[in-house]
Amino acid sequence: MEKSPVLSLRNASIVQGSHRVLTDVNLEVAVGEFIYVIGATGSGKSSLLKTLYADLPLESGEGRIVGYDLRNLQERDIPYLRRQLGIVFQDFQLLMDRSVRDNLDFVLRATGQMNRSENDDRIDNVLRRVGMPTKGHKMPHQLSGGEQQRVSIARALLNDPPLILADEPTGNLDPHMSEELMHLLEEIRASGRSILMATHDYALLLKFPHATYRCANGTLASTVQRTL
């Protein structure tokens, strides 16, 4: 039996305030699929992702993500939706006054998971998965940019989400660190997770080719992915 897509948008409009950013968006992400969204700054990539994690409302069209109907999403359901998503930002968004472990523990407690032993096990597991098993005691300022982004990916994996939304995750990294991060994301996809990644780093698309959509002129359209 074929699995339902983890994300499906049909004839959707992406709106920020009174401005319609993207119109007639059709996008589907299957289980275990990696998809890029590319486009210039201001073309709608971030607004699209914000709509998917319910920071912006979906006001027209149809949208389902990890089992939730975005058009009929109640405010009380938003925290439960976000538990099913791993969200990775360009600027890491770590709490600078807490250690790596305390950053991760804070997220678990904020989502209602209060069992200390289970939380410790989850934290150990995600730090191993991102290649940082001995860095839990470090403060964010003691880590490189690439290491900080690995912590943010560990944070995104805490609730074992079926879908990762990554908004310019390599934007603050040098080319070497960007490639390391992409290898990590590829490993995560190979484990059965789906990834939707917004980026303007076209060099990555050549080295790590996947299906690609472009935001431009108020639309989202599939592109022909060039491979090496």
Confidence of residue 166 (pLDDT cuts 50, 70, 90): very high
The β-bridge relationship of strands 211-216 and 194-199 is: unpaired
* Residue 111: predicted pLDDT: 78
Per-residue pLDDT averaged across 113-140, rounded?
A: 94
Confidence of residue 1 (pLDDT cuts 50, 70, 90): low
* pLDDT tens column, 77-106: 998 999 899 999 888 889 999 999 999 999
Structural contact between residues 45 and 37, judged by C-beta atoms closer than 8 angstroms: yes
DSSP characters over 59-111? EEEEEEETTEESTT--GGGHHHHHHTEEEE-TT----TTS-HHHHHHHHHHHT
Per-residue pLDDT averaged across 175-190, rounded?
A: 94
* pLDDT tens column, 6-36: 999 999 999 998 899 999 999 999 999 999 9
Q: Which domains does the chain have, with CATH numbers?
A: 7-84+161-222 (3.40.50.300)
* Residue 42: predicted pLDDT: 87
pTM of the model: 0.92
Confidence of residue 227 (pLDDT cuts 50, 70, 90): very low
Structural contact between residues 106 and 95, judged by C-beta atoms closer than 8 angstroms: yes
Backbone angle region of 144, left / alpha / beta, with phi > 0 → left and psi within -120 to 50 → alpha: beta
* Residue 163: predicted pLDDT: 97
Confidence of residue 76 (pLDDT cuts 50, 70, 90): very high
Looking from the CA of 51 toward its CB, the CA atoms found within 13 Å total 31
Residue 2 pLDDT greater than 90, yes or no: no
Report the chain's C-alpha Rg in angstroms: 17
Residue 120 pLDDT greater than 50, yes or no: yes
Residue with tokens 């607004």: 47
